[in-house]
Amino acid sequence: MRSRRSCLAVPGSNPRFLEKAQGLPADEVFLDLEDSVAPQAKEQARKNVVDALRTGDWGGKTRAVRVNDLSTMWTYRDVIEVVEGAGDALDCLMLPKVEDAGQVAWLDTLLTQIEKAAGLPVGRIGVEAQIESARGLVNVDAIAAASPRLETLIFGPADFMASINMRTLVVGQQPPGYTEGDAYHYVLMRILMAARTCDLQAIDGPYLQIKDLDGFAKVAHRSAALGFDGKWVLHPTQIEAANEIYSPSQDDYDHAELILDAYEHATTVDLRGAVMLGDEMIDEASRKMALVIAAKGRAAGLTRTKSFQPPA
């Protein structure tokens, strides 16, 4: 899986932002043709995005484009122009406001047709699906299983809050009057369960108060604790916090790697199914948990600071 600790939104209508984003340390940059682009600027934004993909130096980042949603007149031209113009420089297309599996299947079919016509490898371009409404959440299991191209499910909090008539205007914060628990816990867990069932990543949506870094960190820690892989960032100041919060700590990463080494030694050399690592007993369940932390650490670029010493 690609590392998506921080997913930076960049308006496709702003060439200066498109250039600046190339040098920022976000794991993923998605060039937006949807909400951040005014209707009269949509066509030019497509041209800007194609040019940025073709000529930019993205430094190994995951390159995605968010097209307009399927209720608009722009979506099919977004897909055709971007993929025909820069398909070999594109990793994923993001489809917003997904409400049923058929919408993902539509995008998969259109992508396949364009790839065949353009001589691109069929199936290489991935899909990211945004869940932004009550209907989308109810159908999230079918959406998650809709296409082998699908890589991530993304929570879109602002539209979702509007769709269920949540009584707040502050995206991501607890609604006034909700004093017990977390108003978003069910939504986040529902998306996470659907994603993991289909081996997809789960990405938390944006925090709109871009100057409130403490607030951003608080809501990011909430979804990171559940197991989400990353979060949207709307401003460069949020990137560092996202990269840190959605990465394992150095101690946790080292410990995970030691568990994997110790279990490997126990099952292949000592031929035991359980073993002690210091004062901790580890087994197959421990190995599975360690695999998750180790994979996230490796994707984040962490390097080991401790080595395994087989017992005498």
pLDDT of residue 28: 98
pLDDT of residue 273: 63
Other Cβ atoms less than 10 A from the Cβ of 310: the count is 10
CA 155 to CA 84: how far, in whole Å? Answer: 28
Max mean pLDDT among 144-148, 162-166, 181-185, 294-298 falls in: 144-148
CA 175 to CA 170: how far, in whole Å? Answer: 8
pLDDT of residue 190: 98
Lowest average pLDDT, out of 57-61, 207-211, 237-241, 280-284, goes to 280-284
- Contact in structure between 100 and 71 (CB atoms under 8 Å): no
Interval 224-234 mean pLDDT? 96
If you ran DSSP here, which 8-state letter would residue 145 be given? T
Residue with tokens 């250039």: 19
Structure tokens at 310: 């087989």
- Burial class for 122, CB neighbours closer than 10 Å (0-12, 13-18, 19+): exposed
Mean pLDDT of the chain: 94
Percentage of the residues of the chain whose pLDDT score is greater than 90 = 79
pLDDT at 255 over 90: yes
Any residues with CB less than 8 A from the CB of 55 and at least 6 apart, and which? Answer: none
pLDDT at 312 over 70: no
Q: Does 213 or 272 have the greater pLDDT score?
A: 213
Q: How confident is the model at residue 263 (pLDDT cuts 50, 70, 90)?
A: confident
Other Cβ atoms less than 10 A from the Cβ of 2: the count is 17
Residue with tokens 């996202």: 242
pLDDT at 302 over 80: yes
pLDDT of residue 174: 84
Interval 41-69 mean pLDDT? 97
CA 51 to CA 46: how far, in whole Å? Answer: 9
Other Cβ atoms less than 10 A from the Cβ of 17: the count is 18
Interval 148-166 mean pLDDT? 95
Structure tokens at 32: 């937006």
- Contact in structure between 96 and 130 (CB atoms under 8 Å): yes
Lowest average pLDDT, out of 122-136, 142-156, 264-278, goes to 264-278
Residue with tokens 């995206």: 171
Q: How confident is the model at residue 240 (pLDDT cuts 50, 70, 90)?
A: very high
